[in-house]
């Protein structure tokens, strides 16, 4: 028989480790109210883990006990488990429809979670119960603002002010809405009024400080920040804001004191984590580590502290230790989203994009409402040229947290990459409205305007950027592009040259400079320019590929061939170099000679893959696909990650009626090695089309079209994918573009049939 002991009564946390039978045997007779009272006592002692156990016990007795759900929500919130808190508080409010306080709390949490429509509904419920409830009126206004109904939001907040003209929070919210409407003077008046009606309101002081700070009036921001801390020295928000203010103004030493004062409070792990963050930012890693090692011993703060320790390890060049710490957190907490995000960051830094993508997908699966997880996923998808999926991820970020900076810039850039200029302009304009001083936002707006042909405004923006930062090579490069579009060749040349003076590795500026020289028939000048660049970085394959192109313009096929061979020596998977060399042999009619040469080289270097790859390419050019296939198969057997051979073998299998599953695996291998090569992404997309997987086919095919928009076959493949998906409009657009590029496209009849049968 199980017997309750005094020790077990005094340590209810052990209930987590006892069997259900043991718990019921010991405490079966306790009522829901007794469990609730016990939980409240623990909560009063800030023992939230124990309180959570007691509240759950109350709910085992009565799952519809609203007060227990409400108190459980509060304990979750104090334990930094906001998602669980929202769920419990919503349940509590549903169980207690006549409890205005429960409805209001639920609405406020829903507002913080970005569920504006639900928050508005809760506010309206409270107002039915109490039409003069000021807090409900403010909540309704904030929800309306979140729903972009700014006029309705103003009406609601003004109604709150009518109900209580001395309510500082109402005026602070009024100011925030005026800011959203772009009415700075009205916003300032509202923030000042909030302080006037209640000079002891921390919220009012912080709101006024934030207004001054966000509008660049830093000296004026300091006084209300200090006043907020004086009014409530224990407030985390005020102390953190003051510390951040000091750091943003370069007063790093002063930033420490506010955070230390909070960290000295016993049992406040969040304050100590914040102080550790300050030490990390100021590179005082030993002090940060000392704090974090102590905090990590607390179960509730273990993961947060350990992940920070992992970040310190990584910064201090201890990647193995960093990975070990993150893996330990994930082993204990498999659904820990920040851990998955950190793992992804480490992997992408190490160039392991595919593995990083897997981690980001796991982070999103674990918490689809994490803006950070969606942001990381979008970033990695963009790196893989999965433009549409990246756009979807960043749109989710905006839905979850509209205040995340820089997302509009990323969306504008992605829309430019897919050729959607109108959409790019829309995002770029919004990015500039949100952050009018942002260099990145203004640059992407100039690029979008240039793509739209609005060169006058693009030039004005670039002049402004260059006036502020004349030392940024990218700005001079973009100005060169703008002037080039205006046919101002001397001006464009001047800007490209200036960009290269600042950054000799500015590839876009160099490409523009070479194009100008070749266009002016100054091939000798282009050769001298690229030769100087290659001399400084003789193994840079991007530069060598440009040099091969200049040799082609100079009709110097010997040096063009020599340069392409050199690229292949450096990078045996360089698709463009292989393709260029094969084209050169076809053009010069030297296929047999080249084949003999590369066969001899392959015999001398039996473990190298470059020479046999060239043999296979030449066999393809000689219309001998069966022989080429055999050579590619030997290469892949010898080197499974041989990207060029894998891609071309996959294509031969598809065109020859081979095994599509094998072809797909080969194409995936190639795309992992060469994610930005149009031929490779087209192969993968075409295989997906053949397998009837239209949704999977579209992203890589879009990437191919983006990388080579003048290739009619890529557009045909994309059109067929859209047709199989049932999107006739996009299919027709893709087919039309293909026929514009190549009116005699052999697949034209197939395109028409696809539209008729889809």
Q: Is the dihedral of CA 322, 323, 326, 329 positive or negative?
A: negative
As a whole number, mean pLDDT of residues 538-546 equals: 90
Q: Return mean pLDDT, the chain.
A: 85
Where does 470-533 show beta strands of DSSP type E? none
User: What is the model's pLDDT at position 434?
Assistant: 81
Where does 661-729 show beta strands of DSSP type E? none
Long-range contacts of the stretch 82-90 (C-beta < 8 A, 24+): 82/109, 82/112, 82/113, 83/113, 83/367, 83/369, 85/109, 86/110, 86/113, 90/118
Class of the domain covering 675-758: mainly alpha
User: What is the model's pLDDT at position 439?
Assistant: 92
CB 475 within 8 A of CB 465: yes
Residue 480 phi, psi dihedral angles, 5° rounding:
-60, -40
What single DSSP character describes residue 570?
Answer: H
Reported as a single tens digit per residue, the pLDDT across 161-171 is 899 899 888 88
Question: Where does the pLDDT of residue 756 fall: very low under 50, low under 70, confident under 90, or very high at 90 and above?
Answer: low
Give the residue carrying structure tokens 């108190």. 71
User: What is the model's pLDDT at position 758?
Assistant: 55
Reported as a single tens digit per residue, the pLDDT across 448-458 is 999 888 999 99
As a whole number, mean pLDDT of residues 520-538 equals: 90
Which among 200, 255, 199 is positioned nearest to 222, based on CA atoms?
A: 255
CB burial readout 226-253, b (16+ within 10 A) else e:
bbbbebeeebbebbbbbbbbbbeeeeee
- Whether residue 397 is predicted with pLDDT greater than 50 in this model: the reply is yes
User: What is the model's pLDDT at position 218?
Assistant: 81
Fold of 572-660: 1.25.40
The tokens describing 500, both together, are 């290269």
User: Does 572-660 match 675-758 in CATH topology?
Assistant: yes
Reported as a single tens digit per residue, the pLDDT across 355-385 is 899 999 989 988 888 899 999 999 998 887 7
User: What is the model's pLDDT at position 306?
Assistant: 95
CB 218 within 8 A of CB 246: no
- CB-count exposure of residue 644 (10 Å: 0-12, 13-18, 19+): buried
Task: Give the rounded percent of residues in the chain with a pLDDT score beyond 90.
Answer: 26
Domain ranges of the chain: 572-660, 675-758
Reported as a single tens digit per residue, the pLDDT across 705-750 is 888 888 888 988 998 888 888 888 888 888 888 888 888 777 766 6
Reported as a single tens digit per residue, the pLDDT across 592-631 is 887 887 787 778 778 878 888 888 888 888 889 999 899 8
User: What is the model's pLDDT at position 757?
Assistant: 60
Q: Is the pTM of this model over 0.75?
A: no
Distances (CA, A) of 611 to 193, 573, 577: 78, 12, 13
Reported as a single tens digit per residue, the pLDDT across 220-255 is 888 888 888 888 877 677 777 777 777 777 777 887
CA 428 – CA 585 distance, rounded (Å): 45
Reported as a single tens digit per residue, the pLDDT across 13-29 is 323 232 333 333 344 45
Reported as a single tens digit per residue, the pLDDT across 100-143 is 888 888 888 888 777 888 888 888 988 888 888 888 888 888 88
- CB-count exposure of residue 158 (10 Å: 0-12, 13-18, 19+): middle
User: What is the model's pLDDT at position 17?
Assistant: 30
Neighbouring CB atoms inside 10 A of 532's CB total 11
Residue 606 CB contacts under 8 Å (≥ 6 apart), including other chains: none
Q: How many residues does this entry show for the chain?
A: 758
Residue 62 CB contacts under 8 Å (≥ 6 apart), including other chains: 32, 68
Reported as a single tens digit per residue, the pLDDT across 182-204 is 888 998 999 899 889 898 888 88
């Amino acid at each position: 028989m199980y017997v309750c002991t005094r020790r077990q009564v005094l340590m209810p946390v052990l209930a987590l480790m006892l069997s259900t039978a043991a718990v019921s045997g010991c405490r079966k007779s306790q009522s829901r109210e007794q469990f609730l009272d016990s939980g409240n006592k623990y909560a009063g002692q800030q023992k939230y883990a124990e309180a959570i156990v007691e509240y759950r016990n109350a709910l085992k007795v009565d799952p519809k006990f609203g007060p227990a759900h409400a108190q459980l929500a509060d304990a979750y919130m104090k334990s930094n488990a906001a998602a669980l808190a929202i769920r419990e508080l919503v349940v509590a409010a549903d169980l207690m429809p006549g409890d205005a306080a429960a409805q209001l709390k639920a609405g406020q949490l829903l507002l913080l979670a970005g569920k504006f429509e639900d928050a508005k509904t809760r506010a309206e419920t409270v107002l039915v119960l109490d039409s003069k409830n000021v807090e409900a009126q403010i909540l309704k206004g904030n929800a309306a603002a979140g729903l972009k109904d700014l006029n309705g939001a103003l009406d609601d907040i003004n109604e709150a002010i009518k109900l209580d003209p001395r309510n500082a929070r109402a005026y602070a919210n009024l100011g925030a809405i005026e800011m959203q409407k772009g009415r700075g003077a009205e916003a300032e008046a509202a923030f000042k009024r909030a302080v006037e009606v209640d000079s002891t309101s921390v919220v009012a002081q912080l709101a006024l400080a934030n207004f001054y700070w966000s509008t660049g009036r830093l000296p004026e921001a300091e006084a209300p920040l200090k006043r907020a801390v004086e009014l409530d020295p224990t407030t985390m928000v005020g102390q953190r804001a003051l510390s951040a203010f000091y750091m943003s103004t370069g007063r790093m030493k002063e930033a420490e004191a506010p955070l230390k004062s909070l960290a000295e409070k016993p049992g406040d792990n969040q304050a100590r984590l914040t102080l550790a963050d300050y030490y990390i930012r100021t590179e005082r890693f030993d002090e940060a580590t000392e704090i974090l090692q102590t905090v990590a011993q607390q179960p509730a703060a273990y993961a947060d502290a350990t992940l920070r320790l992992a970040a310190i390890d990584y910064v201090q060049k201890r990647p193995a230790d960093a990975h070990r710490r993150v893996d330990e957190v994930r082993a204990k907490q498999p659904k820990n989203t920040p851990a998955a995000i950190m793992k992804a960051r480490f992997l992408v830094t190490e160039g392991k994009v595919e593995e990083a993508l897997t981690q980001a997908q796991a982070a999103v699966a674990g918490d689809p409402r994490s803006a950070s997880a969606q942001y990381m996923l979008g970033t990695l998808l963009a790196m893989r040229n999965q433009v549409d999926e990246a756009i979807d991820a960043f749109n989710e970020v905006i839905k979850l947290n509209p205040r995340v900076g820089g997302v509009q810039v990323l969306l504008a850039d992605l829309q430019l990459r897919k050729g959607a200029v109108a959409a790019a302009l829309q995002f770029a304009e919004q990015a500039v409205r949100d952050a009018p001083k942002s260099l990145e936002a203004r640059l992407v707006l100039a690029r979008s305007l240039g793509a739209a042909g609005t060169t006058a405004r693009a030039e004005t923006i670039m002049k402004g950027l260059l006036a502020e930062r004349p030392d940024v090579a990218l700005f001079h490069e973009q100005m060169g592009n703008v002037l080039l579009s205006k046919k101002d060749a001397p001006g464009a040349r001047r800007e490209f040259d200036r960009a290269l003076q600042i950054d000799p590795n500015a590839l876009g500026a160099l490409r523009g400079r070479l194009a100008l020289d070749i266009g002016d028939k100054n091939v000798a000048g282009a050769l001298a320019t690229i030769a100087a660049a290659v001399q400084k970085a003789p193994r840079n394959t991007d530069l060598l590929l440009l040099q091969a192109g200049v040799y082609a313009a100079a009709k110097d096929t010997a040096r063009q061939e020599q340069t392409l061979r050199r690229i292949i020596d450096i990078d045996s998977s360089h698709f463009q170099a292989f393709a260029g060399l094969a084209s050169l042999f076809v053009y010069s009619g030297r296929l047999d000679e080249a084949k003999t040469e590369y066969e001899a080289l392959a015999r001398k270097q039996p473990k190298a893959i470059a020479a046999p790859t060239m043999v296979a390419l030449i066999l393809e050019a000689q219309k001998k696909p069966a022989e080429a296939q055999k050579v590619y198969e030997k290469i892949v057997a010898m080197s499974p990650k041989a990207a060029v051979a894998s891609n071309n073998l996959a294509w031969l299998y598809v065109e020859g009626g081979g095994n599509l599953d094998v072809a797909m695996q080969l194409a995936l291998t190639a795309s992992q090695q060469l994610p930005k090569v149009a031929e490779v992404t087209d192969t993968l997309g075409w295989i997906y089309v053949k397998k009837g997987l239209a949704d999977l086919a579209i992203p890589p095919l879009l990437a191919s079209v983006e990388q080579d928009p003048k290739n009619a076959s890529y557009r045909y493949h994309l059109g067929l994918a859209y047709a199989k998906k049932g999107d006739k409009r996009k299919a027709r657009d893709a087919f039309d573009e293909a026929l514009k590029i190549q009116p005699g496209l052999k697949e034209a009849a197939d395109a028409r049939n696809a539209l008729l049968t889809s």
